[in-house]
Amino acid sequence: MDKEHSVEEIEMNADEAVNHAKGGFDNESSAIVLDEEDILDTNVDDTNDSSATIQGAQWYIVQCYALYEQKVRDRIIQMQENEFKGIVHRVLLPEEETVEIKNNERKEKVKKMFPGYLFVQMQPDEGAWYMLRRLPGVAKLVGSRNEPTPVGEDEINRILRQLGENMKKIEVDFELSEIIKVISGPFRGYTGAISEINPERGKLKALISIFGRETPVELDFDQVEKYLDGK
């Protein structure tokens, strides 16, 4: 059995794999498996499942060189009208909206979920695989040297459901034990040390002195800011 590659491994090693695409992966691989921890929430209605709606079609992973994902996706979509007509059905570049809070500034941006990789739903076709491999910006199709490995229906459906959630991931530069100042809400003006950070919920807990006693208070990220130089 060839060496296995999981989507989790792809995500963890994306930067290194993309920058060293010609030598960063083994030439052979087998079943692609997504762990449930890769998915934000799998308890979503199955109406978004669409990996098996086209008879014979499979999902494959295309590895791209750094910063070429968008160009490769757009080129494949163009080729769907001609060279890939009836063969390539769908191209996914999974992205998520993120909110970055850094130095008390809030910035919203779109971030690739699997940097360096595209998911392509297509009929198994050696000619099409050959053309995909030769597209500018494509490093390889994930799988063995001669044939890419399809992604399982359950695994790709989890990605599709995750994309359907449209959830914003929040990234912050707060740290445990750091002093913050509350700028809105009933505790406005209070300061305290961070005791817990929950990026998924966009909240943190701080130990605030109330009547001379430290009390853990849950606050939204946008309710606080770093306490700098006594300000």
Q: For position 69, what pLDDT does the model report?
A: 95
Structure tokens, 190:
């209070």
In Å, what is the CA distance from 113 to each residue of 12, 94, 108, 191, 220? 11, 6, 15, 35, 24
Structure pTM? 0.55
Strands 191-198 and 203-210: antiparallel
Helix (H, G, I), strand (E, B) or coil at 165: helix
First-to-final CA distance of the chain: 61
Q: Does domain 174-226 have CATH number 2.40.30.10?
A: no
Q: For position 142, what pLDDT does the model report?
A: 93
Q: For position 172, what pLDDT does the model report?
A: 75
Domain boundaries, the chain: 5-99+112-169, 174-226
Q: For position 9, what pLDDT does the model report?
A: 57
- Show the low-confidence residues of the chain (pLDDT under 50): 1-4, 15, 17-52
Q: Decide if 34 contacts 159 (C-beta within 8 A).
A: yes
CA angle 183, 186, 192 (to 5 degrees): 55
Instruction: Supply the CATH classification number for the domain 5-99+112-169.
Output: 3.30.70.940
Q: For position 4, what pLDDT does the model report?
A: 43
Q: Do domains 5-99+112-169 and 174-226 have the same CATH topology?
A: no
Tally of residues, the chain: 231
Q: What is the 3-state secondary structure (H, E, C) of 46-90?
A: HHHCCCCCCCCCEEEEEEECCCCHHHHHHHHHHHCCCCCCCCEEE
Q: Which residues are CB-neighbours of 59 under 8 A, at least 6 positions away?
A: 51, 119, 120, 121, 150, 151, 156
